[in-house]
Amino acid sequence: GAVVSQHPSWVICKSGTSVKIECRSLDFQATTMFWYRQFPKQSLMLMATSNEGSKATYEQGVEKDKFLINHASLTLSTLTVTSAHPEDSSFYICGAGGRSNTDTQYFGPGTRLTVL
C-alpha cells in the first residue's frame, strides 16, 4: 500500500500555543488528504478534507479558525492547532488517497498531542 508519513509523532505544548502537524504522501500524489481526530478508546472522527490548492472542507462542529489546514503541494498537507487547550489533546491522524469511490485511503502513523 501507499506510504503516508506524519511529523511530529508526538508533541507536548503549553496551553495557548500553536502546534503544526505535517502529513506527507511519500510515494504518490494526493490531491486530497483527510484529517481525523481520535480520542482514547473511540473511533476516528473526520475533521476536514484538505484539497490541494483550495480551501479545506470542514466537518460540522469543527472550528476552521482553530484548526488551520494548508495543502500547498500534492504531497504535503499541514494542520495547525491554534491556541491549543487541554481539551485539544488527542491523537491526530491524516489520511491520503481515497479521493474517488474506487481509491483506498491510507493513513499516517498519527501525532499524539498533549496540551498542558
Partner 1 sequence: GQSLEQPSEVTAVEGAIVQINCTYQTSGFYGLSWYQQHDGGAPTFLSYNGLDGLEETGRFSSFLSRSDSYGYLLLQELQMKDSASYFCARKGYSTLTFGKGTMLLVSP
Residues that bind partner 1 in the complex, under the rule CB under 8 A = 1, 32, 34, 42-46, 49, 93, 95, 98-102, 104-110, 112
- Residue 22 or 98 with smaller CB distance to partner 1: 98
Q: Closest separation between CB of residue 49 and partner 1, Å? A: 7
Please give the Cα distance from 30 to 63 (Å, whole number): 24
**Minimum CB–partner distance for residue 95 and partner 1 (Å):** 7
Nearer Cβ to partner 1, position 17 or 39? 39
Nearer to partner 1, 46 or 83 (CB): 46
What are 80's three cell numbers?
495547525
Pick the closest to residue 50 from 107, 105, 110, 94 (CA basis).
Answer: 94
Residue 96 and residue 93: Cα distance in Å, rounded?
10
81 or 108: whose CB is closer to partner 1? 108
| Least separation in angstroms between CB 86 and partner 1 | 20
Q: Is 55 helix (H, G, I), strand (E, B) or coil?
A: coil
Closest CA to 56 of 88, 75, 79, 74: 79
